[in-house]
Amino acid sequence: MSASWDWVSLFRSEAPRLVRFLSRFGPAVSPEDVAQESFARLYAAEPKNVASPRAFLFQTARNLAIDQVRRGRASPVRAVADLSGPASADPLPSPEQACIIEEERRVLEAAIAGLSEVQRTALVLRRVEGLAPSVIAQRLGVSERQVRRLIVQALARCQAQVRASRDNEPGPG
């Protein structure tokens, strides 16, 4: 510890100011954590190399806050579901869910099989292979606009058949 600085009075006078200053950076920055890190860096610095401890603290805090904001933009944290619940313990669907999934798969396969050849091809090339409409248009010898129409029509027919199969299922009970 440096004998030239009174650390207690420096902390008491500058910590609240530093936290207020850091709160301007918004929720991406933890003012208390950044202030603490700034004091730790000041403590680690050579006292003879620091002309003004206050200026050093605020500049260090500013740089750390900017780094936190940048990191938050580069890899934002997203809320996730509660990982401690029973859903995370067993990733496999229940037998009932598996039956529903299988039935929906069969209905969807039948719906796709019922499409015209050109609709089915456009849909598969776009949704399964991930090709751009311009590439699909070249392969099928049609315009991009026609490719978009074919895909929309195919999806609409498939959705209608899946919806109709759900409506025709007997309810519980």
Domain 93-167: CATH class, spelled out: mainly alpha
Look at residue 84 and tell me whether its pLDDT is greater than 70.
no
**What is the predicted pLDDT for the residue at 121?**
93
Domain extents for the chain? 7-74, 93-167
* Residue 103, token pair as written in the block: 């039935």
C-alpha Rg value of the chain to the nearest Å: 31
48 vs 96, higher pLDDT: 96
Share above pLDDT 70 across residues of the chain, in percent, rounded to a whole number = 85
> What pTM value is reported for the model?
0.44
pLDDT digits (tens, 9 = 90+) for 118-137: 999 999 998 888 888 999 99
Torsion sign across C-alpha atoms 87, 89, 94, 98:
positive
